[in-house]
Amino acid sequence: MGKVKVAIIGSGNIGTDLMIKILRTSDLLEMSVMVGIDPNSDGLARAKRMGVITCATGISGLIRMSEWKEIKLVFDATSAKAHIYNNSIIDKYPDKRVIDLTPAAIGPFLVPPVNFEDNINVKNVNMVTCGGQATIPIVAAVSKIANVHYGEIVASISSKSAGPGTRANIDEFTETTSLAIEKVGGADKGKAIIILNPAEPPMVMRDTVFTLSEKTDLDLIRNSIHEMVQEVKKYVPGYSLHQAIQFEEIPEDKPVFIEGLGLRHGLKTTVLLQVTGAGHYLPEYAGNLDIMTSAALATGEKLSMLTLS
């Protein structure tokens, strides 16, 4: 069986880490072209050293290359605004599919262990955000057992792992993740918060997930969450529960107010997660970037199996 040829647009940290993951670990994807806009970027220089063809003139340069004809998957690791333009060009080519690692959300949100099967025929899929990839599986795990009124996530990442792209897209991060908590996680209402932690030495990614759901059997929810953690670990080995799952009953006579929903009672579930990066290109504390590239790689490989079959 051959490999599906892919291109990566964006030669920054995320694009470079994804390239190295594909080169080192994938039996299904073949790096064809690494695309950037700065000919002096470290990402393009590293790609050249690793034998990957490069393009320093963005999407306009890529589509003029002879390699473009054979490329079937394009990973976009640029920014939300840049992706809108890039996708407008790629969309003209029916045989190309796009995996969007920006918060642009042109295509439907995709979290591999939650809703991949729902999006196998979609031309452009969006990988939500790092916080979304880490936490939405947990919200979905609770939703499998009981109706979730409210899901809130707090993503804490090292400030050293937040580059210019992350900082420029913080508004998009909160909006995109909040919406995906509802659309993919199954919560009636979602909220997302991101914290850039300046601690030294840098801390690994930590995520806190709160859900308020209908009351149900605690063991059912606990088992569903543990099963989901194991599913995510298949492609993100550094993904783990940081502490035991916590439960608290919100009684009917002491409900909490949720904006947009009103008063609600039920079962509050608190899940504390930790994401340690694989260290392929980025330091291990940059689990926020690693989970994005790992989720994108897992999605690309699943799509490639459909292409090759």
Of the candidates 140, 137, 170, the residue with the CA atom closest to the CA atom of residue 239: 137
Q: Which of 236, 266, 184, 250 is nearest to 17 (CA)?
A: 236
Residue 12 DSSP code: S
Q: How many CB atoms lie within 10 A of CB 25?
A: 14
- Taking residue 203's Cβ as centre, other Cβ atoms within 10 Å add up to 18
Find where tokens 């490069």 sit: 54
Contact between 238 and 275 under an 8 Å Cβ cutoff? The reply is: yes
Structure tokens at 136: 């939405």
The radius of gyration of the chain from alpha carbons, rounded to an integer in Å, stands at 20
Residue 294 and residue 21 in contact, taking contact as beta carbons nearer than 8 Å: yes
Catalytic annotation on 55?
no
Answer yes or no: are the C-beta atoms of 6 and 35 closer than 8 Å.
no
Phi (first) and psi of residue 172, to 5 degrees = -65, -35
Name the active-site residue from 37, 73, 130, 286: 130
Which residues have CB under 8 Å from 171's CB, separation 6+?
A: none
Judge whether 158 and 167 are in contact, CB under 8 Å: no
DSSP 8-state code for residue 109: B
Active site (catalytic) residues: 130
